[in-house]
Structure 1
Amino acid sequence: MANDYSIHSLKPGLKVIILKEPCIIKSSFFVKPGKGQAFTRVKFKSFLSGKTVELTFKSTERLKKANITEINALYLYNDNFFWYFLDQKTFEEIAVLKKIINTKRFWLVPQCKCRLTIWNKKVISVIVSNFISLKVVQTTPVLKKNSINNSLKTAILKTGVSIKVPYFIKVNDYIKVDTRTCKYISRIK
């Protein structure tokens, strides 16, 4: 059938419906015991909750295909309830709920590129770039004696996120940040 997958054909990256939620397969492991029926252990991540779960399926079961699409978009602005994006293909404006954005809001600056994941005509996830450059708007002062022992200080970036940076970073510097770990990568000259 075109709308479902057999358990044997599951591969990492496939998007399926498990427990009535769209999920992405992280791994699957086929087991053929000496006694009993063969089964497959599937590790998957839910798009809605973000949780990773592992389940066991009989070899005869099938999983329904999730009709998920991803589009390239530009972040435009927000009104604290919705974040607005521009579909780069159709030039349509798309509103995304604040709860979907969650902590990604710290990495969204006007005109940044991202990917929107859509299921049942609703945006269920926003994927930002792994690295982004942001302006430092405030840093904690460093005393001479602390600069030798402690090479990190706190900095607040343009989007409001607070991260640890080396002591030589100053206000108005631009820095490269890893959005997955919220860590400083380098200063941009």
Structure 2
Amino acid sequence: MAALIEAIHVKRKHLFEFENEPYVCLDSDISTPTARGGQTLVRLKMRNLLTSAVFDKTFKAQDKFKEPDLELVPASFLYHDGDGFHFLDQESFETHTLSDDTVGNAADFLLDGLLLQLHKYNGSPIGLQLPIFVELDITYTEPAVRGDTSSGATKIARLQTGLEIKVPLFIKEGEKVKVSTENREFAGRA
């Protein structure tokens, strides 16, 4: 049997099941009453992992949640077509398909063969978790102009997936750069 988690112990990035659906906690706020006999309340900002809907809900501190039947499975990106994005499960060697809506902005980082983690809920894939950094080639950027040396100056670069980011002036077209998948920013040369 899955362990139960009290609402007061749910913190940021914790996974829990509410009304038979998996959620991730985005933020939690505990309010303790000043009057005697008042109940401690926990306000959770949570995202439904199936629908990606985000909302706030208030619970009593002693309300309990089940741990969801979620697992992270290593997978690699194969290709994208009209049916969606196709991934190869590295453990069972099954092919899983996720819709364009489910993948969302993560598509800006997907290259053939990229290793990542697939979220599975009750054995079915429901989302993915990208690595923290992805290495991508720059397909277009303006050349640096002699004299443009102000500190911290940046320019726009288009990457091989179509994503555009700001890079330092010394970065040239054709170079490989490391990009953060969390904030979509330049993190260094690869």
**Normalization by structure 2: what TM-score?**
0.82
**Aligned match of 1:136:** 138
**Aligned match of 2:118:** 116
The number of equivalent residue pairs is: 187
Question: 1:116 touches 1:125 (CA, 8 Å); kept in 2?
Answer: yes
Question: Relative to 1, partners in 2 of residues 1:18 and 1:99: Cα closer, same or farther, differing over 3 Å?
Answer: same
Matches of 2:181 and 2:2, distance apart in 1: 37
What is the aligned counterpart of 1:160 among 159, 162, 165? 162
- Verify: 1:24 aligned to 2:24, yes or no: yes
**Aligned match of 2:95:** 93
Q: Percent identity?
A: 25
Question: Relative to 1, partners in 2 of residues 1:133 and 1:59: Cα closer, same or farther, differing over 3 Å?
Answer: closer
Matches of 2:57 and 2:124, distance apart in 1: 27
**Aligned match of 1:7:** 7
Unaligned runs of 5+ in 1: none
Question: Relative to 1, partners in 2 of residues 1:2 and 1:81: Cα closer, same or farther, differing over 3 Å?
Answer: closer
Unaligned runs of 5+ in 2: none
Q: Which amino acid aligns with 2:105?
A: T
Question: Counterparts of 1:27-176 in structure 2 under 5 Å?
Answer: 27=28, 29=30, 31=32, 33-46=34-47, 47-50=49-52, 53-145=55-147, 147-149=148-150, 151-176=153-178
**Normalization by structure 1: what TM-score?**
0.82
Question: 2:133 touches 2:181 (CA, 8 Å); kept in 1?
Answer: yes
Deviation at 1:151, TM superposition (A): 2.4
Q: Name which of structure 1's ranges 178-187 and 150-159 shifts more when overlaid on structure 2.
A: 150-159
Deviation at 1:51, TM superposition (A): 5.6
Q: Name which of structure 1's ranges 72-81 and 103-112 shifts more when overlaid on structure 2.
A: 72-81
Question: 1:73 touches 1:85 (CA, 8 Å); kept in 2?
Answer: yes
Question: 2:7 touches 2:42 (CA, 8 Å); kept in 1?
Answer: no
TM-align CA RMSD: 2.7
The DSSP-based 3-state class of the residue aligned with 1:35 is coil
Matches of 2:181 and 2:6, distance apart in 1: 36
Deviation at 1:89, TM superposition (A): 1.0
Q: Which amino acid aligns with 1:74?
A: S
